[in-house]
Chain A
Amino acid sequence: MNTGFSSALLVRIAVMAVVVVFFQIGVVSEVPVFGVSADLSPLLVAFVGLLCGSTIGAATGFAVGLLVDLALVQTLGVTSLTLTVVGYWAGRLRELRDPQAALTPLLVGAAAAAAAAIGYSLVQFLLGVDAPVSFELLRQIVLGVVVDTIIALPVWAIVRRCLIGGLPDDPRRRRRRAYTTGGLSPLSRS
């Protein structure tokens, strides 16, 4: 399923990951919306998984997480672990269901943001970080998910535009396109 990915695609993903992480740290984190900052990294990882599949999604999640942990001097591995799971899950969604609805990126983005926030918090609690489970923490998580959901569609459009040229032609999609254009329609054949 994931065979046929060109090195150009991997380079595009790598460049996009670096740019997004620095943009996240330099700009997005500095602009609070509803008292919280948007988190682009789970959106990026989920959308890469949604476009490229589970293996690439998981690898991107691990790399982006490592980059974030290194750049922000956080505990190494925490963000990697959560984003690996997010990327893998988004890739499996594509491989199993291949959802084509227009709102799919919105729902995937929301789910990815929620999974990343909750997963990160859980790992932090497991590590024994002294922070109470308060209403404020829940509010921050919920607001973060809402903000990420709001920006999910534009981020999806950008990620898709950046990667679409390097994606291999998927036979299932080719078949679907043929149906819609009439070339391979059973009706036209009959």
Chain B
Amino acid sequence: MYDKTVRRRRAVLALLVVLSLILLTAYFGEASSGGLHSVQRGFLTVVSPIQNGANKALKPVRDLVGWFGDTLHAKGQRDELRKQVDKLRGEVIANQSEKHAYRELLTLYHLDNQLSVNDYHPVTATVVAKSPNVWYSTVTIDKGESSGVHVNDPVINGEGLVGKVAQAASDGAQVTLITDSSVGVSARIGTSNATGIVQPKVGDPNDLLLQYLPANTQANRGEYVVTSGTVSSSHDSLYPPGIPIGQVTSVNEESAYRSVNVHPLADLHNLDVVQVLTAAQGTLPANLSRLAANLPAGQHAEGTTGESLALAGSGG
């Protein structure tokens, strides 16, 4: 009796193990279209609705159990994410600053290429301080005499003329912006040869006025105003010719002279990187003059950069 029981038990075990091995070998060896795979697919077809039903019925249980785990997990995640947010916020701020600086450098680079600013030995500088009130339109840059910066050197950025150096120290300089009342720039409207003086508009220090134009000067809204450079040996200009200053916004009819309102191209409130033209005085590159003469009219000031201006100029 005992032997029979033992034999039966061992036979059952051997049978099940052998059956498992046969299943395993056959399943592993056959193609996906084989018999065992078909049986498995058939089983799945039959069982799937039951599984779906069970899955839906058991969802509340699953959710309940999962809720405890999720809550604990969420707490840990929250703390970790808070740390990440703090870290990323710092990185975003740093990236934004770098992006802003990069854009300015890129526009300066394009301006250099298009207007041959390199001929004027530009020194790239970063604005380190700005005048905190509206009375003084000045900024301080981090380059000075040790870098070749001198008083009265023109200062530009990627969009156009910014101002001139008012004072220069060894490793820094103060730049007076073109919106400062002490600054006057010899300028002309792009398509004409009539020259005038650009100065801040009285009562609106953020806007400019191109004054003393001949009465018969034709000026249209949207035309570019550029520096005229030296027009005669008796009137030597500080600024090289062809540097964009702004766009005409309106024309004022006056008796003896005509004046036009000009909106500066450079965003003087958000200066970050500028270039000081350290060899501007007394040089007159011919290509700048030609480019300035070909500047197009009728474009809006918003979103216009020195790059697009120069590109448009060379295309026209």
Question: CB within 8 Å of B: which residues of A?
Answer: 1-3, 22-23, 25-27, 30-33, 54-55, 58-59, 61-62, 65-66, 69-71, 73, 75-78, 80-81, 84-85, 88, 123, 127
A residues within 8 A CB of B23? 66, 76-77, 80
Do the beta carbons of B9 and A55 come within 8 Å of each other? yes
Is B16's beta carbon under 8 Å from chain A?
Answer: yes
Do the beta carbons of A26 and B20 come within 8 Å of each other? no
A residues within 8 A CB of B13? 54-55, 58, 84, 88
Is B106's beta carbon under 8 Å from chain A?
Answer: no
Asked whether A58 and B12 contact (CB < 8 A) given A22-B51, A76-B23, the answer is yes
Is B257's beta carbon under 8 Å from chain A?
Answer: no
B residues within 8 A CB of A78? 20, 24
Do the beta carbons of A81 and B21 come within 8 Å of each other? yes
A residues within 8 A CB of B58? 23, 26-27
Query: Total interface residues on B, using CB and 8 Å?
Result: 33
21 A-B pairs within 8 Å (CB atoms) are namely A1-B5, A1-B9, A2-B5, A23-B58, A26-B51, A26-B58, A26-B62, A27-B61, A54-B9, A58-B12, A59-B16, A70-B39, A71-B51, A73-B44, A75-B24, A77-B27, A78-B20, A80-B16, A80-B20, A85-B17, A123-B24
Is B36's beta carbon under 8 Å from chain A?
Answer: yes
Do the beta carbons of A127 and B28 come within 8 Å of each other? yes
A residues within 8 A CB of B40? 69-70, 73, 76
A residues within 8 A CB of B39? 70
Query: Measured between C-beta atoms, what is the minimum distance from A33 to chain B in Å?
Result: 7
Is B47's beta carbon under 8 Å from chain A?
Answer: yes
Given A23-B54, A27-B61: 9 more A-B contacts, CB < 8 Å: A30-B66, A31-B62, A54-B9, A55-B13, A58-B16, A76-B40, A77-B21, A80-B23, A88-B13
Q: How far is the CA of A111 from the CA of B43 in the complex (A)?
A: 31
Do the beta carbons of A75 and B28 come within 8 Å of each other? yes
A residues within 8 A CB of B316? none
Asked whether A81 and B27 contact (CB < 8 A) given A32-B69, A70-B40, the answer is no
Do the beta carbons of A62 and B65 come within 8 Å of each other? no
Is B84's beta carbon under 8 Å from chain A?
Answer: no
Query: Measured between C-beta atoms, what is the minimum distance from A143 to chain B in Å?
Result: 14
Q: How far is the CA of A27 from the CA of B28 in the complex (A)?
A: 29
Is B129's beta carbon under 8 Å from chain A?
Answer: no
Is B50's beta carbon under 8 Å from chain A?
Answer: yes
Q: How far is the CA of A165 from the CA of B47 in the complex (A)?
A: 30
Query: Measured between C-beta atoms, what is the minimum distance from B57 to chain A in Å?
Result: 8
Q: How far is the CA of A39 from the CA of B44 in the complex (A)?
A: 21
Among A3, A59, A75, contact of B27 (Cβ-Cβ < 8 Å): A75
Among A55, A62, A66, A76, contact of B8 (Cβ-Cβ < 8 Å): A55
